[in-house]
């Protein structure tokens, strides 16, 4: 008889222990969610109001997501034509660069040829056109790799998004090419120094 009582007590103890562990996991999840929300709010708050104001003047109701990189403030958004865009501003609210995801006939033939010749099975790469004060170049996002191309679409270099940056924040931001996130995957967006190809 005491065996049955002992078994019932052990079962109750195990149920309470499982219930307690579930409660702890829920608390941890809630804390993690609150931390993420607070981090997003802080990142948004770090973008100066004059920068946000300049962006809103030109692109009202765009619902941009902001990210600070190398002293620049990048606004990621989708425009009225459903094109993904990124505009990079300096701290004074001046545009440093303007990038647009391009498709189809907008993609230079040299980029398409590069992929066809070097990566014939890769078809899902994203092509971005970058304009830095009239200097146009291109880059592609393929998984965790970035491939850079000149104004004619000729390949110049490759860089992994996982690489650590070797440029210092005090370098001239005009020498860096901001790279928009792959908005579908929320990939990181490093700003490699274009003067030092790898």
pLDDT digits (tens, 9 = 90+) for 36-73: 554 544 444 488 889 998 999 988 888 899 998 768 89
Query: What is the model's pTM?
Result: 0.58
Residue appearing with tokens 């990048």: 74
Is 159 inside any structural domain?
A: yes
Identify the domain boundary among 46, 63, 81.
46
Do 14 and 85 lie in a common domain?
A: no
56 by Cβ neighbours in 10 Å (0-12 / 13-18 / 19+) ranks as: middle
pLDDT digits (tens, 9 = 90+) for 99-131: 999 988 999 999 999 999 999 999 888 899 999
pLDDT digits (tens, 9 = 90+) for 124-164: 888 999 999 899 999 998 888 889 999 999 999 998 877 65
Do 55 and 75 lie in a common domain?
A: yes
Domain span at residue 114 reads 49-175
Domain count, the chain: 2
Is 110 inside any structural domain?
A: yes
Please name every residue paired with 98 in a beta bridge, in sequence order, or none if there are none: 87, 131
Do 32 and 77 lie in a common domain?
A: no
Is 193 inside any structural domain?
A: no
């Amino acid at each position: 008889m005491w065996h049955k009582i002992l078994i019932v007590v052990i079962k109750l103890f195990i149920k309470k222990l499982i219930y307690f562990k579930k409660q702890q996991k829920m608390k941890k999840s809630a804390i993690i969610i609150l931390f993420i929300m607070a981090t997003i709010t802080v990142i948004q708050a770090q973008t100066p109001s004059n920068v946000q104001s300049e962006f809103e003047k030109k692109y009202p109701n765009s619902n941009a997501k902001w990210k600070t990189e190398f002293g620049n403030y990048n606004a990621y958004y989708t425009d009225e034509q459903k094109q993904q865009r990124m505009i990079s501003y300096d701290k004074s609210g001046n545009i440093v660069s303007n990038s647009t995801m391009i498709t189809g006939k907008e993609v230079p033939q040299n980029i398409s040829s590069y992929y066809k010749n070097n990566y014939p099975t890769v078809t899902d790469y994203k092509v971005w056109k970058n304009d830095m004060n009239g200097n146009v170049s291109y880059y592609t996002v393929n998984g965790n790799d970035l491939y850079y191309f000149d104004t004619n679409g000729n390949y110049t270099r490759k860089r992994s998004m996982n690489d650590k940056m070797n440029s210092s924040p005090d370098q001239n931001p005009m020498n860096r090419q901001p790279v928009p996130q792959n908005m579908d995957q929320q990939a990181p967006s490093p700003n490699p120094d274009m003067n030092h190809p790898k």
